[in-house]
Structure 1
Amino acid sequence: MKQFKILFASLAVLLFISAVPDKRTTIFVIGDSTAANKDTTGGKKERGWAMMLQQCFDANNIVVDNHAVNGRSSKSFIGEGRWDKVLKKIKPGDYVIIQFGHNDEKAQPDRHTDPGSTFDANLEKYITETRQRGGTPILMNCVVRRNFFVEAPQIADDEQLRTSTFKDGVKMIEGDKLIDTHGLYKEAPKAVARRMNCIFVDANRITHDLEQGLGREASKQLHMWFLPGTEPSEPKGKQDNTHYNILGATTVANLLADAICNEVPALKPYRKLPDYKNPQLSAAQRADDLLSLLTLEEKVSLMMDTSPAIPRLGIPQFQWWNEALHGIGRNGFATVFPITMAMAASWDDALLHRVFTAVSDEARVKAQQAKRSGDIKRYQSLSFWTPNINIFRDPRWGRGQETYGEDPYLTGKMGLAVVRGLQGVGYNGEDLGVSPYRKLLACAKHFAVHSGPEWNRHTFNIEDLPERDLWETYLPAFKALVQEGKVAEVMCAYQRIDGQACCAQTRYEQQILRDEWGFDGLITSDCGAIRDFLPRWHHVANDGAEASAKAVLAGTDVECGSEYKHLPEAVRRGDIKEADLDRSLRRLLIARFELGDFDSDELNPWTQIPESVVASDAHKQLALDMARKSIVLLQNRNNVLPLAKSSKIAVLGANAIDSVMMWGNYSGFATRTVTALEGIQQLAPQARFINGCGLTRNEVFESRFGQLRAPLGPKGMQVAYFNNTEMQGMPVTTVHLTSPTMLSNGGNTVFAPGVNLEHFSARLDATFIPEKDETVIFNIAGDDKVRLIVNGDTLVNIWKVRNRIQTAQQEMAVKARQHYRIQIDYVQESDYATLAFDIQHKVAPTHQQLLAQIGDAETVVFVGGISPKLEGEEMRVNEEGFKGGDRTNIELPKAQRETLAMLHKAGKRVIFVNCSGSAIALVPELESCDAIVQAWYGGELGGQALAEVLFGDYNPSGKLPITFYRNTDQLPDFLDYTMKNRTYRYFTGEALFPFGFGLSYTTFNIGKPIYKNGKLQVSVKNAGQKDGLETVQVYIRSLADKQGPLKTLRAYQQVELAAGQSKTISIALPRKSFELWDAKTNTMRVVPGKYEVMVGSSSADKDLKKIVVDIK
């Protein structure tokens, strides 16, 4: 009886449950074999996409009921009574996905329909009757066939495409472009949806983009494509271009589910996202999920600096390579701040943090612009390979201008400010509460021992580097950025160390960087560094597969280059395991998730920064502030500066009028640049410019662009632009150029309004009418194609696309008042566009001619030095004293030195403005020049800042971040990386201008420090007549360590004082500040003992007050 009661109760519960209606919404699917349920027994792999649709939605709220059947058309599905069965099940609020077309194309009478007629009528029937039942129809067109056969447009039957690469005995040619086989059958549903006001999902376009994006080979992984013996369920192999395997069906289901939710917002809350698309999960959880879904080839593609989109997973394209050395680089108009070395001379890391906060604002805007364009190119993404924190150990290195100088502590402080500004945190590393995402990814480069030479960096091997030098000099800045700055990326360098390429150095990348310092970010190679493993260069690997495997195993996660394409081969032959790739890829994916790269812009406030910030007045003010603070006054004999604005002034020197020089290297394009001459003339309009001499030769180049006449008469050139690459048809616009041409499409900047960003052409026309007989030089540069025609003769013909800027110079003797017809043809075919043109005349004035031109001007401001055209990264420079981007000597070039000496001998008051990114030996100039001003490469407003200093509107406060040596003979061998006799820390000679040195228009007195409880108390007095700013510097030295540095910077503080004002400042000098290399334990540690603490205005002994402290 008891058992009967239990049974009765159970039946009652079941009857009650079955009587309760299912309140879940149902999505019915009707269609053909691409969506149909398949037999999955015996491990069969074929799936219809609708089989996988349920996993895309929350089953507690949405039920997918798939009625799609193999081989059915819109006609046969009705004729067999299948639609009636579905119709009876539809309840109000349900949805019906309608997708036919594949089989409507077939010739069989029971299946065939005609688009625009019977096919449309059947679709309309489904829509009408669904609505009558209270349901919502969702019309789709058919998915594409994987048809990459060039000769196959006439083939509409999927049975033929499914199995064979032959048709009627003729081999079909494989192509790279997906060919449509559906014709009007894919278009008819669009028309029906419009007429019936029905929801429409363009499944054909979605799957076309998927298959085309993957390409001919990779798209096979979506389909039933198996070689014989590779798939147990298909032992004979299979080649099916229509039907999906598990991966393909899952991919298509997710893409269509996303599209459905975009059209039906009511379904969005129930869209079941894969973990990697769920912004509520951690970046690590999302990376793990995505990693499990990727194929080997897809993994490898994501480890390249240009990472393609993976449409099947909704992975957007990504560019790892972007530059922001001193402003957004190589990406159109942006604020151009002073070169890095100049900003280091400010010694103001708080200002530097504000600068790079502005840079990161501009970066986010440009990334959004690129994202909206649908094609993110190099230099348009959110990963920035900045800052360069290598130690500038030798002034001959051409890339020293990119660094923050020769001192590890100053470099670390400045580097931290850069990283924190770029990555969107506060000056002290505090979360600003703006966004849950990183603002950008910063990168510390080049890890870890790297500072030239440029000419042999692809083959150079550093041997027997002392451990002291490694840990005290080369590593501290990197450690600070990793542990304190939480930098997202680190870049490994080109050269070898002890025979091992830096990007395959397990000791550096794994043991030091990851194990000891706890770095959990990603490591990228320098560009081409993995290629350098090959026999032609370092010869540490025999081929690309071996090189790539070595790099990944050491910890190099991203390659800038193309060798990683060999990683699948390396996996197959056992050089590396796929799990090793997963370790690297996981780090990359975490970084991208932390950026918000996969998530809606609505979730990320960084994407809402207004476009108006780019090159804004506020950012220009920051550029001006930094330029002012960067200028270092090196000599001011008899207080010749500041100048009176009413003085008779002659401005000389090639750098006085060179705006591009002001930008330094790795720069963007300034909307307007104030040259030194323009800045001076803004404050002293009577100042006259005279070319004087060139940087390396006693010759200058004068532009003759003003002697050009456009076809209708005005000065300059007429430019007709065409939105095609053949210069055909009517121009889209015609513009007039009045100054030498320098155009670029960087940063999505069009050449002129209405002109395409890519795939365009231009014709420039003018008549050149020389004013006198002379020889002129036609200077022209172009990317992609450019041709110069003079009077019908082609003088320059750069007509081969090389995807880089190509330049040419052509001399020509011309006659006064004769007419020379100038025509320039320009074609841009893809990617970046550049066009530059000028006509110049070379002049070599004698000293007598120069003095005659100067006349009665009592003051000469000579703006000279060197230029980014002479020093930089791996350059071709054919000038005495320069090699491969580096310098072979550090003296001022002879032509300038002789000109300055002549001016001094002639009794002129000479103000020498040195523009450089490195130290120049200026011993003779101490005599020939009354004042010496180090102006670096000052950025877009460097000319204004310089003029304000020269005329006293701004009191200079910059301090040298490097040592200025007296001559090249004071330098050790450039190839020797040991620190003996290098930089102020080990140099035993007499410097010309010491590290930390910089004069002011006022005088500061710094008192003897008092050290107590980890702090220094220092009195500072402005004893002069002008308000000013002093940088109080703190150095230490271990009295017991005779092998250690002579002194090393450990703190600094800036104090601003009015004339006559005094102030006592407190400078933190905690116990850890005394950490140095301990040769007894071979570690960095604080060794108890006596230390000398030195405080003053530079590193020179004469400028320092010293005390001895006992550190326990």
Structure 2
Amino acid sequence: MRNVLIVFFSLLIWLETTSAQEPVYPFRDARLPVDVRVVDLADRLTVEEKIGFLCAKAPAIDRLNIPAYDWWSEALHGVARNGKATVFPKPIALGSTWDTGLIHRIADAISDEARAKYHAALKKQGFTKRYEGLTFFSPTLNIARDPRWGRTSECFAEDPLLTGALGTAFVKGLQGDDPNYLKILATPKHFVANNEENRRNDGSAAVDETSLREYYFPAFRMSVEEGNAASVMGAYNALNGIPCCANPFLLTDVLRDEWGFDGVVMSDGSAVEKIYTHHHYADSPEEGAAKALLAGCDMSLRDEYREGLKKALLAGMITEKDIERALFRVLKQRFRLGMFDADSVVPYSHIPASVIESEAHRKLALEAARKSIVLLENKDKILPLDAGKKMKIALIGNDFQRTYYGDYSGLPDSNQTLYEVLQRRYGDTVDWQWVAESSREEPVASQYMIRGESFAYEGKLGLTGYYFANGNLEGDPVTIRHDHQVDYRSAADADLAIRRLTEASVRWETNLHAPVSGDFTLIFRGDADLTVKIGSRVYQQKSGEQPLAITAELDRSTPCPIRIEARNIRLNGNVEMTWKWPSGNVNMTPERVAAQSDVAIIFLRDDLAYEGRDRETLAVQPHQAALVKAVGKVNPNTILLFGSSAPLLVGELAPHVKALLNVWIAGQGESEALAEILFGETNPSGKSPVTFFSDEKQLPPLDDYNITHGRSYQYFKGDVRYPFGYGLSYTEFNYRNLKVKNLGTDSLLVEVQVSNVGNYDGEEVVQCFATHSVWEDSGLLRRLVGFQRVYVPKGKTIFVQIPIAKQPFERWNAESDEWVTRQGAYKLYAGDQSITFSW
């Protein structure tokens, strides 16, 4: 029947196009059902071409006039790695907004920019390269279960409901609302329990069924069932001993059979290769590829399928039908993206390039930044500052003079530093005195070193290290690896120890991206003969001599290539690279400037964890803590702006400052938003989506995935500095008349009155938590069941209604493999109100 339909439609098209010079195939006819078009195209492909479509770099098929296409594009908080784009706050900051509508609007703006870039690239060159496509690897729906995880900044929250609600809004915004076409394709990642960097390539997450169902699955489930995500990315790691990208329980039993997913499963990075090389779950690359395909992984991101599936097919490990099953899923999404249709019928094909970092999108980025910043401390109500009062304010810290967006970012034209904004907005009444936080020598952090495009698969931040088993960089390196810093300690380097090197030499290469323009002092020291090339200039130093100190004039807008060669490294020798930033007025210290000022504002960042690196500690860097204590000692009116990728132990800083604003990484609107909050033009309204702990020693080990052992606010019984959902305001909100109405067997309606009894207009996040005696017996303290962000003018009262689904009240029964809802009395909390109810 299928072939009859194809012949019939082909005949109709032939009759309409007999005068055309080139044949018009049925798969090109937008009037036909998508499934018919998919079958027609698939039947015209060779086996090799079919396999090619299952690789991220799909080759061109000239005889069918199909251009090459690269599946890999990024949009974590804006179109990334593709030039100019609006940069929104990182997801951990977006999570602080608790605003699903805002997240949807942000994703809608991102997809507009992505569409405009795609069509411009396609028109210019006839095909699209990496980062220019319509298939995006976002959002990250792994949960922020442990702040030591290196990729915490990519998460929305530590709570399943909040993560799922924001992630689903993001997916919907990316994919659009047309019934036939996707605006772009969203890919929630990394499925599942992908919460470590140190073991991400070869580790296995040991997760009990209850933790999996109640904590790690829900956000992904929501994105599929409610968001209709068209793609999902499998994770590097294994789940209970089986690699996620070769795990039929995950990719078929749960994702497709239980949740009804009918889209494309894409592997992470080189995850298919790692099934063989790292997890040793297969005896050959082709067996690893076969296991992934048969488990339900449709595509390989690093193109391992190209050779792996060919060999697996020849060896009888898979059949052509197995390939076609994945092919149909892949082709269907490409048809839904309009890749085989004329622009005239694709509703998103005419989005103009003018939307890219448009004024509307800049305003949206500013709105997001305003709502994401969390006020943690405000003693004596020192904030907001009075913009009309003449005063002298010390600005202490390098971060006043730079912008920082983190990884997976675009390059906006509007890059205002906080110093520039403060001078422009309040320079008439405030005497600003800026000084660098210090001229201390410190390691060059990986965020200022960006490797070439060819290393994007492994991560671009840091350096590429080439290690040789001789003293002269001769022959082939014994290993090539991704290093985050030049901090080589041969005796402690386990990777090299297993090679028993008696002689060693290393070459590191990267590009320096200076955070500010000025004269940096780059310092190289080590038990080796050093040759350093910075730009076009070459410097040398013999082993045993004084450290090599180089003054380099760096421009923050121009990357500077750098190469470090260390020859004849002594046995158990060391090699390291550090630097000193430009220090501003060298005659002024932070303490001196602070002592002479009415107010001192310190701006510090800590982003020492990232993809590929977990945190060793949640403690604030010692030199930063020392600076805060020293400044707070000489000026009691000290305000701290702290930007971090995770909730650190900022409690040790709080006694030394009057106000503490947690900035996260708030995107290109950050500087404007901070200025507005400092001077009261915007009322801070961010609520932390994660817990700020008091003592990291009370946390379970990073590789412990059992949520009952103290994960998140739901189960943690230790000391907390700032709880989940916490955030101060310049005004005060009162709650009263809390009510719960049953709307049948599957939903509730929470009603409450919220009054603004303070002196500022403001936004409040109404958070509803539930408890049950049986929950508490199992260690579950409380659970977020609903939330809503509302605006309340000063002196006004609003009536808030929050629909709440039954799902957050369900618990997984591992014995019967089903969801159950406990009978009896529940207690629901909203603000300082509580009420008891039953289903």
TM bucket by the smaller chain? 0.7 to 0.9
Q: Which residue of 2 aligns with 1:109?
A: none
Offset of 1:1066 from its aligned partner?
Answer: 1.6
The answer to whether the Cα contact below 8 Å between 2:594 and 2:635 also exists between their aligned partners in 1 is: no
Offset of 1:274 from its aligned partner?
Answer: 2.7
Q: Which amino acid aligns with 1:458?
A: N
Q: Which residue of 1 aligns with 2:215?
A: 473
Offset of 1:1085 from its aligned partner?
Answer: 2.9
Is the aligned partner of 1:1037 residue 2:771? Answer: yes
The answer to whether the Cα contact below 8 Å between 2:225 and 2:260 also exists between their aligned partners in 1 is: yes
SS of corresponding position for 2:190: strand
Within 5 Å, give how 1:714-729 maps onto structure 2.
none
Is the aligned partner of 1:1009 residue 2:754? Answer: no
* Aligned match for 1:866, one of 606, 631, 635: 606
Offset of 1:810 from its aligned partner?
Answer: 7.7
Q: Which residue of 1 aligns with 2:250?
A: 508
Q: Which residue of 1 aligns with 2:754?
A: 1020
SS of corresponding position for 2:722: coil
Offset of 1:922 from its aligned partner?
Answer: 1.4
Flag the 1:695–1:558 CA change in 2: closer, same or farther, 3 A.
Answer: farther
Within 5 Å, give how 1:613-652 maps onto structure 2.
613-645=355-387, 646-652=390-396
* Aligned match for 1:1095, one of 814, 830, 837: 830
Is the aligned partner of 1:982 residue 2:711? Answer: yes
- CA distance in 2 between counterparts of 1:847 and 1:930 reads 27
Is the aligned partner of 1:996 residue 2:725? Answer: yes
Q: Which residue of 1 aligns with 2:77?
A: 326
Flag the 1:695–1:1076 CA change in 2: closer, same or farther, 3 A.
Answer: farther
Q: Which residue of 2 aligns with 1:47?
A: none
- CA distance in 1 between counterparts of 2:595 and 2:252 reads 66
Q: Which residue of 2 aligns with 1:400?
A: 152
Q: Could you list the per-position Cα deviations for residues 366-412 of structure 1 after superposition, in whole angstroms to 9, with x for gaps in the alignment?
A: 00111012241100000011000111000011111011010100111
The answer to whether the Cα contact below 8 Å between 1:776 and 1:842 also exists between their aligned partners in 2 is: no
- CA distance in 2 between counterparts of 1:776 and 1:567 reads 49
Is the aligned partner of 1:283 residue 2:34? Answer: yes
**TM-score, normalization: structure 1?**
0.61
Flag the 1:693–1:56 CA change in 2: closer, same or farther, 3 A.
Answer: farther
Q: Which residue of 1 aligns with 2:435?
A: 690
Q: Could you list the per-position Cα deviations for residues 190-239 of structure 1 after superposition, in whole angstroms to 9, with x for gaps in the alignment?
A: xxxxxxxxxxxxxxxxxxxxxxxxxxxxxxxxxxxxxxxxxxxxxxxxxx
Q: Which residue of 1 aligns with 2:271?
A: 529
- CA distance in 2 between counterparts of 1:332 and 1:825 reads 19
Q: Could you list the per-position Cα deviations for residues 744-764 of structure 1 after superposition, in whole angstroms to 9, with x for gaps in the alignment?
A: xxxxxxxxxxxxxxxxxxxxx
- CA distance in 1 between counterparts of 2:383 and 2:14 reads 80
Within 5 Å, give how 1:487-636 maps onto structure 2.
487-535=229-277, 537-565=278-306, 566-636=308-378
Q: Could you list the per-position Cα deviations for residues 30-79 of structure 1 after superposition, in whole angstroms to 9, with x for gaps in the alignment?
A: xxxxxxxxxxxxxxxxxxxxxx9x9888676888xxxxxxxxxxxxxxxx
Offset of 1:1093 from its aligned partner?
Answer: 1.1
Flag the 1:697–1:637 CA change in 2: closer, same or farther, 3 A.
Answer: farther
Q: Which residue of 2 aligns with 1:658?
A: 402
Q: Which residue of 2 aligns with 1:459?
A: 202
SS of corresponding position for 1:1031: strand
Q: Which residue of 1 aligns with 2:809?
A: 1074
Offset of 1:907 from its aligned partner?
Answer: 3.0
- CA distance in 2 between counterparts of 1:1109 and 1:671 reads 53
Give the greater-gyration-radius structure (CA): 1
SS of corresponding position for 2:376: strand
Single out whichever of 1017-1026 and 499-508 deviates more from structure 2. 1017-1026
The answer to whether the Cα contact below 8 Å between 1:695 and 1:866 also exists between their aligned partners in 2 is: no
- CA distance in 1 between counterparts of 2:35 and 2:444 reads 61
Flag the 1:611–1:775 CA change in 2: closer, same or farther, 3 A.
Answer: closer
Q: Which residue of 2 aligns with 1:444?
A: 188
SS of corresponding position for 1:478: helix
Offset of 1:446 from its aligned partner?
Answer: 0.6
- CA distance in 2 between counterparts of 1:955 and 1:345 reads 14
Q: Which amino acid aligns with 1:382?
A: L
Q: Which residue of 1 aligns with 2:96?
A: 345
Q: Which residue of 2 aligns with 1:80?
A: none
The answer to whether the Cα contact below 8 Å between 2:433 and 2:593 also exists between their aligned partners in 1 is: no
- Bigger RCO of structures 1 and 2 (CA < 8 A, at least 6 apart): 2
Within 5 Å, give how 1:105-116 maps onto structure 2.
none
* Aligned match for 1:300, one of 51, 60, 69: 51
Q: Which residue of 2 aligns with 1:1059?
A: 794
Q: Which amino acid aligns with 2:785?
A: R
Runs of 4+ in 1 over 4 A off after TM superposition: 54-63, 694-700, 774-778, 786-790, 822-826, 839-848
The answer to whether the Cα contact below 8 Å between 2:435 and 2:589 also exists between their aligned partners in 1 is: no
SS of corresponding position for 1:303: coil
The answer to whether the Cα contact below 8 Å between 1:695 and 1:864 also exists between their aligned partners in 2 is: no
Flag the 1:964–1:60 CA change in 2: closer, same or farther, 3 A.
Answer: closer
* Aligned match for 2:169, one of 389, 412, 417: 417
- CA distance in 1 between counterparts of 2:183 and 2:393 reads 48
* Aligned match for 2:618, one of 890, 893, 896: 890
Within 5 Å, give how 1:177-326 maps onto structure 2.
260=21, 273-326=24-77
Flag the 1:567–1:1024 CA change in 2: closer, same or farther, 3 A.
Answer: same
Unaligned runs of 5+ in 1: 1-51, 64-94, 96-256, 262-270, 426-430, 704-769, 779-785, 797-808, 816-821, 827-838, 875-884, 1097-1103
- CA distance in 2 between counterparts of 1:1004 and 1:970 reads 33
- CA distance in 2 between counterparts of 1:332 and 1:1036 reads 45
Flag the 1:844–1:360 CA change in 2: closer, same or farther, 3 A.
Answer: closer
The answer to whether the Cα contact below 8 Å between 1:500 and 1:540 also exists between their aligned partners in 2 is: yes
- CA distance in 2 between counterparts of 1:1060 and 1:59 reads 71
> What is the root-mean-square deviation in Å for CA atoms of aligned residues?
3.1
Q: Which amino acid aligns with 2:600?
A: V
Q: Which amino acid aligns with 2:304?
A: E
The answer to whether the Cα contact below 8 Å between 2:783 and 2:808 also exists between their aligned partners in 1 is: no
The answer to whether the Cα contact below 8 Å between 1:696 and 1:896 also exists between their aligned partners in 2 is: no
- CA distance in 1 between counterparts of 2:642 and 2:163 reads 23
Offset of 1:540 from its aligned partner?
Answer: 0.8
Offset of 1:461 from its aligned partner?
Answer: 1.2
SS of corresponding position for 1:398: coil
Within 5 Å, give how 1:912-951 maps onto structure 2.
912-951=640-679
Offset of 1:316 from its aligned partner?
Answer: 2.4
Q: Could you list the per-position Cα deviations for residues 430-483 of structure 1 after superposition, in whole angstroms to 9, with x for gaps in the alignment?
A: x5x7xx31111101111121111x1221011122x2211111101011111101
Q: Which residue of 1 aligns with 2:550?
A: 812
Flag the 1:694–1:624 CA change in 2: closer, same or farther, 3 A.
Answer: farther
Identical residues among aligned pairs (%): 36
Q: Could you list the per-position Cα deviations for residues 868-925 of structure 1 after superposition, in whole angstroms to 9, with x for gaps in the alignment?
A: xx22111xxxxxxxxxx22111111111111111112113411111101210111221
Flag the 1:842–1:614 CA change in 2: closer, same or farther, 3 A.
Answer: closer
The answer to whether the Cα contact below 8 Å between 1:694 and 1:895 also exists between their aligned partners in 2 is: no
- CA distance in 1 between counterparts of 2:601 and 2:589 reads 17
Flag the 1:62–1:527 CA change in 2: closer, same or farther, 3 A.
Answer: closer
Flag the 1:621–1:287 CA change in 2: closer, same or farther, 3 A.
Answer: same
SS of corresponding position for 2:600: strand
Q: Which residue of 2 aligns with 1:6?
A: none
Q: Which amino acid aligns with 2:674?
A: L
Q: Which amino acid aligns with 2:282?
A: A
Flag the 1:1038–1:669 CA change in 2: closer, same or farther, 3 A.
Answer: same
Offset of 1:522 from its aligned partner?
Answer: 0.6
The number of residues matched between the two structures is 715
SS of corresponding position for 1:949: helix
Is the aligned partner of 1:1085 residue 2:820? Answer: yes
Q: Which residue of 2 aligns with 1:851?
A: 591
SS of corresponding position for 1:447: coil
- CA distance in 2 between counterparts of 1:605 and 1:446 reads 30
The answer to whether the Cα contact below 8 Å between 1:339 and 1:665 also exists between their aligned partners in 2 is: no
